[in-house]
Structure 1
Amino acid sequence: MKKKIAIVMGGYSSEYKISLKSGNVVYSYLNKAKFDLFRIHIFKDKWVYIDDNTSEFPVNRGDFSILQDGEKIHFDCVFNAIHGTPGEDGLMHAYFELLNIPQTSCGFYQAALTFNKRDLLSVLKPYGIKSAASFYLNKGDAVNEDTIIEKVKLPCFVKANKSGSSYGITKVYKKEELKNAIEVAYKEDDEIIIEEFLEGTEVSVGVLKYKGETTVLPITEIVTENDFFDYEAKYEGKSQEITPARISKVQEEKVTYVAKNIYDVLKMTGFSRSEFIFIGEEPFLLELNTSPGLTAESILPQQAQAAGLDLSMLFENAINEASR
C-alpha cells in the first residue's frame, strides 16, 4: 500500500514564492508509483489541498486531514518544503509532532534555534565555531551608529535576524547608510543582527541524514557577480555556484568537519545547508538553513547530484529518514 505524503509549501513570509517552486519540484520528482502525493498550500488566510486541476480543498487543521471524494485522508508523512515561517522556525514542526505525523525537517527546537541567527551563533560559540563580530538590535532600541561601527567596523552587513533568501539584508559602507539599512531589515523582522564584513571565499555545505548516517555532500563555492550573495545572485542567475568548490584540501577537511560537527551537536535531522567564509584556512559560519531551496538549480540538489544522488533519490531518502 502506497504511503500518503503531504508536500507542504507556501508559508507566511516573503519566501513563499520560492517555497511553492520547491514544493512543486518535490511533487514532480517523487516516485508516484511508491507514494500518493498531495500538494498542500499553507498561507495565513487558508490551508488548502491543490489537486491536479488546481482546485482547492480545505485542510482540517484539527488533525491535518483532507476530504477527497467523500473520504477522509490522513497522511503518513509530511514533506516540508516551506521556507521561512511557519515551516522553518519550528511552528509547523511542533504542530506535526503534537499530531504524531512524521515530517522531513529537523525537530521543532532545532528549527527555532537555527532560524534565529544570533541565538544559533551564541549556542555554537562554546564549541569553537568561529563567526563574525556582531551587534544586536531589537525594534525600539536606540541606535548609536558610533557604538555599532566600533564593534563591527565598516563595511558591515545589516540583516533581519529571522529571515532567509537575503530578504532584509544590506551591505553598509558609510555611517550615514546605517539607519536606512536598519529600517529595511525591520520590514522583515523585529530583531536585527549587524555583522562585520568578512572577505574571503564563500562556500555552502549541505549535510543530511542518508540511510541513517550524517552525510556531508560535495562543497559548493559561491562566486557572485553582485556585491554579495543577495536575492538576485541566488535566484536570478547573478552568481556562479561551483561544485566541488575550488578550495584547498585543508580548507575542505576543516569545513567538512565543522559542518558535520554542527549538525551532530545540534542533534539535527533532515536537510541542512550551512554557509561559511574562509579567512585563510579557517571557516567562519554565517548561517545555517534547515529548509534549503529544492529546485534543480538550488545548491543542495546540485550537491546531491554531484554525490550521485538524483532528486528522486534525495527526496525519497528524506521520507524514509522521517519515517524511521
Structure 2
Amino acid sequence: MKNVAIIMGGYSSEYQISLTSGGVVYSNLDKSKYTAYKVHIFKEKWVYVDDSGAEFPINKNDFSVVVSGKTITFDVVFNAIHGTPGEDGLMQAYFELLGIPQTSCDYYQSALTFNKRDLLSVLKPYGIKTATSYYLNWGDVIDADLIIKTVSLPCFVKPNKSGSSFGISKVKTKDELLPAIENAYKEDNEIIIESFLDGVEVSVGVINYKGKVTVLPITEIVSENDFFDYEAKYLGKSKEITPARITDDVHARVSATAKKAYEILKMKGFSRSEFIIVNNEPYMLEMNTVPGLTTESILPQQARQAGISLSELFSNAIDLALN
C-alpha cells in the first residue's frame, strides 16, 4: 500500500474550492491500493487532518507527520491546491528538493502557466493565437486612452496570476476602466488587459492517460452572466455542455491546439485550457495545471464523458507520478 498525501487548501482566495477538490480525491481514491491522508496547507499551519478532524503538524523538513508516536512518510503527493503555493511551482520545487513524486507538472511549467502573460508569450511563436493584450505592473502610469486604443472596448481586465475568475472585470466604457484595474490589483500586482473575443468559449482537458497524451471531450461554456465569472463557475450561473456543440473541423482544431500546447510545454499531469473560438479559429486564454476536481468541476465531467471514472482518473495520476 502506498501512502498518498492529498494536499489541499493553499494561500489564495481559492482555498475553499481546493478543500472541496481534495475531499473528492480523498473519497474516490482506490482504498485497496492507497492509504490516503488529507493534508491542509495554510500560511499559518501545515497539518494532517484525520477523519475525526484532529490535526497533526507536518514536519516541513522532510514532509513527515507523527501520529500516536509513529512517524508517517509519504510515497507520493496528490496536488489539489488551486492557486499559490500549489499551482505556481512552489510546492513542486519543494517536493522535488525532497525527492517526493507529485501528481502535477514540474515547478517551471507551474510557474509559467500560472503567469497568464508569460504563458501566452511563450506559446505565440508556435502559432497559438491569443487576444490582443496590454500589461500593467503595480505603480505603472495608467494611460486609459492608450489602453483603449490598444485593446478596444469592451475589454477584460484580469489579475495576471489568480484563478477562479477572482478580480476579473468586463469593461465596456472608459469610466469603468480605472475601477476594474483597482479591483484586479486587489488580487495581484500584475495585470493583463485583453481585447474582447466574441465567440464560443470552450474548456479543453488534456491529460497523460496511461502514458499517452489524451485530449478529453471538450466542454462548451455558456454563462448567464456577462462572462464566465466566479458566480458562473461555482454558483450555477452557467451551462457547461460536454461535448461542446462545435463542428468536427473546429473540434479537431481546438483539440490539436490544446495538445500542441501541452506537448510544447512538456506538461505532466492534468491540464485544462480555455479557448474562445472566433471564425472557427481557437484563441487561447489560459491553462490551469491544478484544475477543479470536485464532482461538478469541468475536468471530471470530461473524464466521465470519456468513460474514465474519478477513481481511475486519480489512480492514473498517482501511478504516473510514481513511475
TM-score past 0.5 threshold: yes
Tell me the TM-score normalised to structure 1 length.
Answer: 0.99
User: Deviation at 1:150?
Assistant: 0.4
- The aligned counterpart of 1:154 is 153
Q: Distance in 2 between matches of 1:249 and 1:208?
A: 21
1:137-216 alignment runs, 5 A limit: 137-216=136-215
Q: Distance in 1 between matches of 2:172 and 2:224?
A: 18
Give the residue type in structure 2 aligned to 1:190.
N
User: Deviation at 1:280?
Assistant: 1.0
- The aligned counterpart of 2:114 is 115
Q: Distance in 1 between matches of 2:183 and 2:12?
A: 15
1:246-257 alignment runs, 5 A limit: 246-257=245-256
- The aligned counterpart of 1:290 is 289
Aligned length: 323
- Map Cα deviations across residues 198-236 of structure 1 (whole Å, 9 max, x no partner): 010000000000111100000000001000000000000
Q: Distance in 2 between matches of 1:123 and 1:34?
A: 39
User: Deviation at 1:32?
Assistant: 1.3
Give the residue type in structure 2 aligned to 1:183.
E
Secondary structure class of the residue paired with 1:59: strand
Matched, 1:43 2:42: yes
- The aligned counterpart of 1:229 is 228
Q: Distance in 2 between matches of 1:173 and 1:157?
A: 9
- The aligned counterpart of 2:59 is 60
Secondary structure class of the residue paired with 2:197: coil
User: Deviation at 1:84?
Assistant: 0.2
- The aligned counterpart of 1:270 is 269
User: Deviation at 1:31?
Assistant: 1.1
- The 4+ residue runs of structure 1 with deviation greater than 6 A are none
- The aligned counterpart of 1:82 is 81
Tell me the TM-score normalised to structure 2 length.
Answer: 1.00
**Residue segments in structure 1 that go unaligned for 5+ positions in a row:** none
Q: Distance in 1 between matches of 2:73 and 2:90?
A: 20
- The aligned counterpart of 1:69 is 68
Matched, 1:28 2:30: no
- The aligned counterpart of 1:281 is 280
**Structure 1 residues 27-36 or 3-12, which shifts more?**
27-36
Q: Distance in 2 between matches of 1:213 and 1:69?
A: 42
User: Deviation at 1:69?
Assistant: 1.7
Give the residue type in structure 2 aligned to 1:5.
V
Q: Distance in 2 between matches of 1:102 and 1:213?
A: 19
Q: Distance in 1 between matches of 2:209 and 2:320?
A: 7
User: Deviation at 1:68?
Assistant: 1.5
Matched, 1:131 2:127: no
Secondary structure class of the residue paired with 1:244: coil
User: Deviation at 1:71?
Assistant: 1.0
User: Deviation at 1:34?
Assistant: 1.2
Secondary structure class of the residue paired with 2:59: coil
- Map Cα deviations across residues 73-101 of structure 1 (whole Å, 9 max, x no partner): 11000000000000000000000000000
- Map Cα deviations across residues 249-274 of structure 1 (whole Å, 9 max, x no partner): 11000000000000000000000000
Q: Distance in 1 between matches of 2:155 and 2:280?
A: 22
User: Deviation at 1:30?
Assistant: 0.4
Matched, 1:4 2:3: yes
- The aligned counterpart of 2:93 is 94
**Residue segments in structure 2 that go unaligned for 5+ positions in a row:** none
Give the residue type in structure 2 aligned to 1:50.
V
Q: Distance in 1 between matches of 2:194 and 2:17?
A: 26
Q: Distance in 1 between matches of 2:49 and 2:282?
A: 43
Q: Distance in 2 between matches of 1:125 and 1:69?
A: 54
Q: Distance in 1 between matches of 2:289 and 2:167?
A: 19
Give the residue type in structure 2 aligned to 1:95.
Y
